[in-house]
Structure 1
Amino acid sequence: MNVKALLFGLLFLLPAPMWAQGYAGLGGSADGFDIPKQGYQFQFPRDHGPHPSFRIEWWYLTANLIGEDGRDYGVQWTLFRSALKPTQTDGWQSPQLWMGHAAVTTPDAHYLAERLSRGGIGQAGVTAAPYEAWIDEWHMRGPDPDTLTLTASGEEFHYDLSLTALGPLVFHGDAGYSVKSADGQASHYYSQPFYDVEGVLYLPDGDVAVTGQGWLDREWSSQPLAEDQSGWDWFSLSFDDGDKLMAFRLRGGRGDFTAATWISADGTATPLPDGSASFIPLETARVEGRDVPVTWQVTLPDYDLDVEVTALTPKAWMATRFEYWEGPVKVSGNRSGRGYLEMTGY
């Protein structure tokens, strides 16, 4: 959400006639599935693992990296879980479906790959302790989410990264209950935005050692959008002074719904309600036949924030089963930094 970012797992379940509805399909009925509840008490390591009684869920990691060549890079590793039914069984009868997305973005290129799997056969899944999320040979694993190794590959790229958390988990909204619309749709949503990252990217132009910062989003729900909401713009920004911001705008026929979390350098999280942040597209680019905003003005008056958020490259289009834009950004203005931007419904 991401939001992240993020609700593609549900779309994987939709019959073909509904695909034309795009992300609006995420506002469909959730009959039979659990619904997020305010006051939910997170328990770890349990909640690092899957929640099969909810319809959709994701493990979503992005990283802003700098290579030994001095260039900026971005990495995405995502595992989505979707459920046909709110149950978990072994074998091909399992109603749990899995989808993986991986990408590397450079200043002039965007490499991506996608994997699909049925649950219950061992090809994909998540365990909470020891911590491991995988699909095929792609893995995010460690003794716990504080210390991870990350690997994925596509036809034109491969990466091996190590991640170490240097701060606490952050819970969005009301202690992890993140509202997504005026009608009350919501998710359970927490992040680990304090990863220190190092490793190697294997690219067509050669191998490059990288270091940087990573951000993991964990979110699950069953009906995260209202019926009129068709897409979103989600920002995860890390400022040079150590503060961070998660903010999103959900676009709907009745107007936008926004939310944000200000994360101080020490990990203190302050949730900000609808209307606290504003997002103004300043420049668009023609990307895969679509006009996509690639420069934004983001303001947050409560924290005297007024910044421009600019894509490292407009080419960061995820031409996967359900298409979206996802890529690294640079931040300038009265704060400087780096981050990630996700945009759907364009």
Structure 2
Amino acid sequence: MNAKLLVCALFWPLAAMAQGFAGLGGSADGFDVPQPEYQFEFPADHGPHPSYRIEWWYLTANLTGEDGRDYGIQWTLFRSALKPFETAGWQSPQIWMGHAALTTPERHFFAERLSRGGIGQAGVTADPFEAWIDEWRMAGPTLQTLTLTANGADFGYDLNLSASGPLVFHGENGFSVKSADGQASYYYSQPGYAVQGTLHLPDGDVAVTGNGWLDREWSSQPLSADQSGWDWFSLSFEDGDKLMAFRLRGGRGDYTSATWINADGSSRSLPDGSVIFTPLETSRVADRDVPTDWRVSIPDEDLDIRVQAQNTQAGMETRFQYWEGPVTVSGSHKGRGYLEMTGY
């Protein structure tokens, strides 16, 4: 097999995701699919689930430097499977992909790593927790206390994270519905990390502190066939409350879901239609028009906010393209957070 064919064979699931993310709406093809009333087991569920097609460990952080400037970082490990099982060595059907990014007010740095499973180059263990691809690591004795490291050609970071507050389960006890047809994922978060460490930038190192948010999600068919992308918000407000909210865009209209997280860690799910998402302004990012200024409102929660990109050019020009960057929040609630947009 020549090199190009080998790459296509190894990373076909990722190529499907690149096609407007429509690959996430395809058939489950023998993989397990999420069911209601799943009983989570920890620490095991912090680890991989090879009988499901796709999975990710996704951490973002809003940071402030000793220089007084605001920064954002992303660290993500994706698992995508060719077949619904795991085997050792080069016969493993598991594909791993890592994304790392660092956003400043003026620049957006990113890097990507790829690996076949079964050979030790990438993977996740649950106890003690460790997620890695090459030298990039998110690791700790448990998910509550982590070290995080990644680097690209002209950036890097070394961070320490310590969580307060409980895990938050989205949807119905972690069963997160994504469409009117019932497609779903298992989805929980740890939104309460305190972060401190060092960013490595072309102009030198910067000591930073801030707050981090980890998302864990796995499924085999999370979208309907007509859904082309999503807009996802993770927002932390100055009063200690938090909000996770997303809309999935489809030919039959939008599907929305949200979780309101109180300052004490308790949470409640907000069903489809509770959140109103209104794009206000778009930015030209690479060759796409992407909404980077939003109004988000939840009438039942007295929330009416404006969410604006810290740097409109936070495009992830990776094998599948998306936008991911830190945002500021003003209006009825003030704060910071992260925004992810796919399918534009």
TM-score greater than 0.5 by the shorter chain: yes
On the 8 A contact 1:27/1:228 being kept in 2, the answer is: yes
CA distance in 2, matches of 1:15, 1:197: 31
Deviations 1:296-323 (A, max 9, x none): 0000112100000000001100010000
Matches within 5 A, 1:148-297: 148-297=146-295
On the 8 A contact 1:74/1:328 being kept in 2, the answer is: yes
Post-superposition offset of 1:19:
6.7
Post-superposition offset of 1:15:
8.5
Deviations 1:54-103 (A, max 9, x none): 00000000000000000000000000000000111111100000000000
Instruction: Show the counterpart of 1:13.
Output: 12
Post-superposition offset of 1:211:
0.2
Which of 140, 143, 150 in structure 2 is aligned with 1:142?
A: 140
Q: Which amino acid aligns with 1:265?
A: A
Instruction: Show the counterpart of 2:5.
Output: none
CA distance in 1, matches of 2:212, 2:341: 19
Q: Give the TM-score normalised by the residue count of structure 1.
A: 0.95
On the 8 A contact 2:14/2:320 being kept in 1, the answer is: no
On the 8 A contact 1:13/1:82 being kept in 2, the answer is: no
Instruction: Show the counterpart of 2:313.
Output: 315
Count residues with an aligned counterpart: 335
CA distance in 1, matches of 2:45, 2:28: 21
On the 8 A contact 1:277/1:298 being kept in 2, the answer is: yes
Structure 2 unaligned spans of 5+: 1-9
CA distance in 1, matches of 2:11, 2:234: 25
Instruction: Show the counterpart of 2:99.
Output: 101
CA distance in 1, matches of 2:226, 2:119: 37
Q: Give the TM-score normalised by the residue count of structure 2.
A: 0.96
On the 8 A contact 2:62/2:336 being kept in 1, the answer is: yes
Q: CA 1:12/1:341 → structure 2, altered by over 3 Å: closer, same or farther?
A: farther
Instruction: Show the counterpart of 1:122.
Output: 120
Deviations 1:254-308 (A, max 9, x none): 0000000000001111001000001100011111011110100000112100000
CA distance in 2, matches of 1:206, 1:14: 38
On the 8 A contact 2:304/2:332 being kept in 1, the answer is: yes
CA distance in 1, matches of 2:303, 2:20: 33
SS in 2 for 1:41: coil
CA distance in 2, matches of 1:76, 1:42: 26
Instruction: Show the counterpart of 2:38.
Output: 40
SS in 1 for 2:21: helix
Q: CA 1:15/1:83 → structure 2, altered by over 3 Å: closer, same or farther?
A: closer
Instruction: Show the counterpart of 1:84.
Output: 82
Q: Which amino acid aligns with 1:215?
A: W
CA distance in 2, matches of 1:270, 1:254: 27
Post-superposition offset of 1:14:
3.7
CA distance in 2, matches of 1:167, 1:21: 38
Post-superposition offset of 1:206:
1.1
SS in 2 for 1:190: strand
SS in 2 for 1:22: coil
SS in 1 for 2:172: coil
Structure 1 unaligned spans of 5+: 1-10
CA distance in 1, matches of 2:94, 2:55: 11
Structure 1 runs of 4+ aligned residues shifted over 2 Å read 11-16, 18-21
Instruction: Show the counterpart of 1:327.
Output: 325
Instruction: Show the counterpart of 2:59.
Output: 61
CA distance in 1, matches of 2:91, 2:47: 21
Post-superposition offset of 1:205:
1.4
1:340 aligns with 2:344: no
Q: Which amino acid aligns with 1:33?
A: F
Post-superposition offset of 1:21:
3.5
Post-superposition offset of 1:151:
0.1
Deviations 1:188-218 (A, max 9, x none): 0000000000000000111100000000000
Q: CA 1:120/1:255 → structure 2, altered by over 3 Å: closer, same or farther?
A: same
SS in 2 for 1:47: helix
CA distance in 1, matches of 2:259, 2:82: 32
Instruction: Show the counterpart of 2:3.
Output: none
